[in-house]
Amino acid sequence: MQLQKKAYGACLPRPYEVILATTREDALPKLEPKLPLQVVRKKGHRSARYGNTVAQNIQRGSSEPGRVNVLGVGVSAINLAQALNAIEGWIAQRLTYYVCVTGVHGIMESRVNDSLRRVHNAAGLVTPDGMPLVWLARLHGLNHVERVYGPDLMLALCDRSILKGYRHFLYGGAQGVPERLANRLKRRYPELQIVGSYSPPFRPLTDEEDEQIVQAINEANPDVVWIGLSTPKQEHWMAEHLGRLTAPVLIGVGAAFDFHSGLKKQAPRWMQRSGLEWLFRLASEPERLWRRYLVNNPLFVLLVLQQALGLKHYLDN
């Protein structure tokens, strides 16, 4: 198993329920399903949760971001600055969480994969990576919500890392991609500490191989592990390795590895802001993405309308 341990730095609307973020333990896939209607306790607060009910329980002054139930996935009602502050707080307190950067694709995959849905709802943050999720949050009056796009989150956290000294590990991408990504990030941020990288094979790792990579990452002592495996692989990987890795933060950013390594082009900003990035990506990779966008996107709109009208109910546990 080839592992790059080289140091790259000098030091090495209302129909959607708004809730407080639950604990990871409430939603891990190994747990038994909860009752259809439940009471959730979080730091002394309670809220009954059901799929087409608005639970106005975002506490004033709370550091916990609220979540919006979109087809059973609790999407964090945040913007980029809030996401960065949450991540930096975890690093400072040495708390361990993972971040799912999720758009319509992740929501739709979670609808048919209950394990993936529970992994999302166990995350420290589920960032709104697509404009439809931002628009749904704003329909609740949550006007502060903005798109937290994986590639933007990566660059923003790298930028903050220069002052804070955060250490990064890159896991994912095809052979040579994480090393290429590391080199390009280093050119952009010369003082950035990238303490290692690894491109896993296109097959499941053996237990021995997995243990070796866990040990290698822990020995590199990163603050942030970036995972570029695409959905749903990266979400399951983060959930399975939480507690085994000592890094405080795991972030699944998928295509950000290819974008920032220069292998794929990103959509123009105006297309990203207007919710048309899917059209750009479809034109770029029609054979791979046609079903995701031409089948899943219209179905997503239909299901969201059904949830809004109370015709379908989705638990977010």
Mind listing the pLDDT tens digit for each residue in 48-93? 233 332 333 233 334 567 999 999 999 999 999 999 999 999 999 9
Q: What is the pLDDT of residue 238?
A: 98
Q: What is the pLDDT of residue 4?
A: 52
Q: What is the pLDDT of residue 20?
A: 36
What is the residue whose two structure tokens read 């709104």? 128
Between residues 289 and 41, the one the model is more confident about: 289
Question: What is the tally of structural domains in the chain?
Answer: 1
Q: Which domain holds residue 127?
A: 1-317
Between residues 198 and 48, the one the model is more confident about: 198
Q: Residue 145 is encoded by which pair of tokens?
A: 């919500």
Predicted confidence (pLDDT) at residue 312 exceeds the cutoff of 70: yes
On whether the CB atoms of residues 129 and 100 are closer than 8 A, the answer is no
8-17, 88-97, 291-300: the lowest-pLDDT one: 8-17
Run of H or E residues at 132: helix 131-138
Q: Residue 144 is encoded by which pair of tokens?
A: 């502060």
139-148, 149-158, 197-206, 308-317: the lowest-pLDDT one: 308-317
Q: What is the pLDDT of residue 131?
A: 95
Q: What is the pLDDT of residue 77?
A: 97
Predicted confidence (pLDDT) at residue 23 exceeds the cutoff of 80: no
Residue 121, Ramachandran bin (φ over 0: left; ψ between -120 and 50: alpha; else beta): alpha
On whether the CB atoms of residues 54 and 66 are closer than 8 A, the answer is no
53-57, 87-91, 148-152, 179-183: the lowest-pLDDT one: 53-57
